[in-house]
């Protein structure tokens, strides 16, 4: 039996919603898991990136691979151990850019294994296991459910989430620099404690964000997509971030901009903006720093992960 799961890229935090807000984009990784018929054939892992094959050279192809680890956890949930499997990972989501590449393959591996095992785990279990692997649900939930999601990882290990509305006139532009930033490094610069006024600032903005989405309020969204919990500390890891955000926030039609996940990609939400002007601001700033930029202007993926094989 062979199962293929397609999983979207995700952008997390969205400014104000550290570790709880995320959205899904129509850029995909595909995980194919096949039960092999030859006893003793073991685990075979192949990773394919047709556009940028060098980007996957350092990804493990043994049992240290994150997809295998996800599959192993799902099997252990029913008291089994994965034995003879062929795993193929087809990547389109850029690695280490803050676009949920690891979340996508974790979700794909879990869902493929669950299908092979005749679906012993329900959605709640899959969310819980995937979040345990990732350490936070902000990428996991939109990868599974699509759209924009608000998620909380509870003390009992469960994930509580709600999908939030989005609107066709709110456009998302993804700005991806040509260098990687490991999540571990980006998290290491965050403080263990923050000032109460900064925590309160983000609480207010997160509430505004949810209200703006429920009421289609573009002006409120402008106020909401601000942050004092993570972006101020990560700016030193993303040269040009402050200049780009300052310029974008004064650009007609731009509703907000944010560091996507751990970075270094930047997301821009706009309504009626000149997208070429948005791209020029980002590209010119980074070009002065010898950084090239790839852009996507995309609708959201509202389906989330799905079986395609």
101 annotated binding-site participant: yes
187 annotated binding-site participant: no
Query: If you search the block for the tokens 């192809």, which residue do you land on?
Result: 61
99 annotated binding-site participant: yes
109 annotated binding-site participant: no
> What is the DSSP pairing of strand 21-35 with strand 43-48?
unpaired
283 annotated binding-site participant: no
Q: What whole-number distance in Å separates Cα of residue 25 and Cα of residue 79?
A: 35
76 annotated binding-site participant: no
Distance of CA 186 to the CA centre of its chain: 14
Distance of CA 212 to the CA centre of its chain: 22
152 annotated binding-site participant: no
Q: What whole-number distance in Å separates Cα of residue 113 and Cα of residue 119?
A: 8
265 annotated binding-site participant: no
172 annotated binding-site participant: no
Work out the angle at residue 176's Cα, subtended by the Cα atoms of residues 174 and 179, and round it to the nearest 5 degrees.
165
Burial of 143 (0-12, 13-18, 19+ CB in 10 A): buried
104 annotated binding-site participant: yes
41 annotated binding-site participant: no
Instruction: Give the CA radius of gyration of the chain.
Output: 19
Return all residues near 297 (Cβ < 8 A) that are at least 6 apart.
Answer: 171, 172, 173, 174, 275
Residues at the binding site for ATP are 94-104
Going by the annotation, the residues of the binding site are 94-104
């Amino acid at each position: 039996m062979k199962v293929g799961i397609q999983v979207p890229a995700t952008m997390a935090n969205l400014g104000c919603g550290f570790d709880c807000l995320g959205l899904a984009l129509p850029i995909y990784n595909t995980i194919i898991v096949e039960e092999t018929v030859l006893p003793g054939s073991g685990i075979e892992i192949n990773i394919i990136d047709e556009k940028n094959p060098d980007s996957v050279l350092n990804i493990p192809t043994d049992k240290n691979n994150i997809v295998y680890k996800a599959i192993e956890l799902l099997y252990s949930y029913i008291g089994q151990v994965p034995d003879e499997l062929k795993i193929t990972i087809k990547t389109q989501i850029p690695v280490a850019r803050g676009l949920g590449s690891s979340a996508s393959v974790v979700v794909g591996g879990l869902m493929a294994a669950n299908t092979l095992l005749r679906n012993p785990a329900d959605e709640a279990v899959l969310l819980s296991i995937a979040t345990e692997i990732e350490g936070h649900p902000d990428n996991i939930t939109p990868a599974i459910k699509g759209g924009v999601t608000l998620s909380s990882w509870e003390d009992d290990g469960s994930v509580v989430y709600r999908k939030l509305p989005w609107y066709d006139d709110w456009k998302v532009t993804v700005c991806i620099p040509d260098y990687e930033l490991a999540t571990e490094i980006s998290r290491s610069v965050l403080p263990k404690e923050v000032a109460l006024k900064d925590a309160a600032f983000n609480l207010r903005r997160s509430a505004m964000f949810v209200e703006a989405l429920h009421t289609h309020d573009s002006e409120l969204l402008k106020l909401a997509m601000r942050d004092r919990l993570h972006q101020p500390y990560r700016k030193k890891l993303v040269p040009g971030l402050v200049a780009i955000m300052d310029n974008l926030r004064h650009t007609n039609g731009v509703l907000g901009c944010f560091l996507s996940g751990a970075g270094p990609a930047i997301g821009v939400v706009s309504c009626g903006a000149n997208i070429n002007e948005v791209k020029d601001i980002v590209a010119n700033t980074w070009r002065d720093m010898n950084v090239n930029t790839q852009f996507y202007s995309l609708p959201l993926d509202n389906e989330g992960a799905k079986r395609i094989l």
